[in-house]
Structure 1
């Protein structure tokens, strides 16, 4: 098991990609702290699945867009588990607005949810990584390379995540902490459930792999980046999109 004896934090861990990541890391031997904002029932379901498979996990409720809440969550995890080895920043929000409908509230909400939460958690967690180092994995999007109408601010907020990933990898590298990001295309979750069927079919038709992504597709990439197998990779945003995006 590639994450044995590690403590991993997964934000947005109660559903979708986050839940799949939590389950995967637990299956790889990690003790998992699932951070969720409001849906305790879904968080409990993930905990039960992990426990039934023989893993260890605990849920922590927090709005990680709030700096003090992020700090308190990290302190609670360290108090309960004693350490942090892996931080997965998956919490985020998707909100569509076309050019003429964008306002300051839209910009503030998406940058707070998608970029601010990453910054808050990284700043709070980094002092608690062991001297041997650790892994930070952030969730970005393939739309940073090819934004579509209505996604401009969402894509910009996720592009900021990739910039933070690259910049903080340089600052934290001397401590043995790698920082990477994963950039999925459309994934079948409740966040994308309202996507018009015509758009889903267009994505499938444009994807060499010939399908929409599944949460487990992303979780497997995250687990690799969270493991020692990724020790020579840092500061990178890795596309996980079935070949959809033209980006070298």
Structure 2
């Protein structure tokens, strides 16, 4: 497939001020792309854009992935501002860390609404603009689409749903010349992953993700994989590439994933979990009040507290 160069393209990102969004925006700008940065916090998105250049190459907008009309209006304005939209990245996402039996139903519904339905809304709003230029739609899913951990039913369901939805939508828009892909990184550092590591239940299950199948990787590895995937208009992007086997044969590897979660450890994690989804009140407030943009700021480094799962 011919390379799809990023220079001169216009790329829109939801969740642009989150950990991955921030790193990805900087890398895309370094490749010569113009950026439409979408976040629930307009001031943060504006400041991010200003740090990347003038409004001719980067501009921030307020947008809520829970609101289709908001996304439609914002992406239309962005297309008019830059003259086109070539690539739209649905990057907004949140998580909870609690079992089905005790998790507040509102917490489950919020994750699905943002992580899964939010991607659908983003793609729906973007399609008229992207199809005008034979562009590319990319959803940030996760390795969790293939390997399903306990206490994260909403998260794993949303990410597996994104993977399946992208496969379906790809068939619907291929006659328009539009490519559709999903990105599936393993754990890497952002505020979201810091919250998982800091949560007693998350720590019990993952142990800081310092080794094994789900060992954390540098965010640069994720960004590089996504950039390469966009330039190939890839259907599936996996980071690191060593985990591609999970994407190709998730069913065969399911027993391996299951065995990686010791039964006693899972029971202890269930006992430690909070019904809100997080033991830390700061994390509860963060995902209850600013979830839809994926506006999870990169945390200040804290000792032995790496990464994020998206």
Alignment TM class, shorter chain as reference? 0.7 to 0.9
Aligned to 1:8: 11
1:43-76, Cα deviation, whole Å (9 max, x unpaired): 3453243229x99210011111111111111111
2:25 corresponding residue in structure 1: 22
Counterpart of 2:174? 173
Count of residue pairs the alignment pairs up: 239
| Contact preservation (8 Å) 2:86, 2:133 | no
Structure number with bigger Rg:
2
CA contact (8 A) 1:141 1:182 kept: yes
* 8 Å contact from structure 2 (residues 148, 156) kept in 1: yes
Q: With the length of structure 1 as denominator, give the TM-score of the two structures.
A: 0.86
* 2:209 counterpart of 1:203: yes
For residue 201 of structure 1, report the CA deviation from its aligned partner: 5.0
Output aligned runs, 1:28-43, within 5 Å.
Answer: 28-38=31-41, 40-41=43-44, 43=45
Q: Matched residue of 1:192: which SS? A: helix
Alignment check: 8 A CA contact 1:139 1:183 kept: yes
Equivalent position to 2:230, from 209, 223, 226: 226
Q: Displacement, 1:116?
A: 1.3
> Deviations along 1:174-210, whole A, 9 cap, x unmatched?
11111011111211001111214676656221049xx
* CA-to-aligned-CA distance 1:6-60 (integer Å, 9 cap, x gap): 110011001200111111111111100010112723x3453243229x9921001
Query: Whole-Å Cα distance in 2 between the matches of residues 216 and 2 of structure 1?
Result: 19
Query: Do the aligned partners of 2:42 and 2:61 also contact (CA within 8 Å) in 1?
Result: no
Q: Which whole-Å CA distance do the structure 2 matches of 1:34 and 1:156 have between them?
A: 27
C-alpha spacing 1:74/1:145, structure 2 compared with 1 (3 Å): same
Distance 1:151 1:241 in 2: 22
The 1-side partners of 2:30 and 2:17 are apart by 16
SS across alignment from 1:5: coil
Whose relative contact order is higher, 1 or 2, with alpha carbons under 8 Å and at least 6 apart? 2
Residue of structure 2 equivalent to 1:128: 129
Q: Which residue matches 1:47?
A: 49
Q: Is the 8 A contact 1:169 1:178 kept in 2?
A: yes
Three-state SS of the structure 1 residue aligned to 2:26 is helix
Deviates more, 1:130-139 or 1:110-119: 130-139
The 5 A counterparts of 1:139-154 are 139-154=140-155
Please give the TM-score of this superposition, normalised by the length of structure 2. 0.70
In structure 2, the residue corresponding to 1:17 is in which secondary structure?
A: helix
Q: Secondary structure at the match of 2:191?
A: coil
Structure 1 residues 129, 192: closer, same or farther in 2, change over 3 A?
Answer: same
Alpha carbons 2:187, 2:216 under 8 Å: kept: yes
Q: CA deviation at 1:132?
A: 4.3
Partners of 2:121 and 2:162 lie apart in 1 by: 12
Greater share of residues in strand? 1
Task: Tell whether 2:58 aligns with 1:57.
Answer: yes
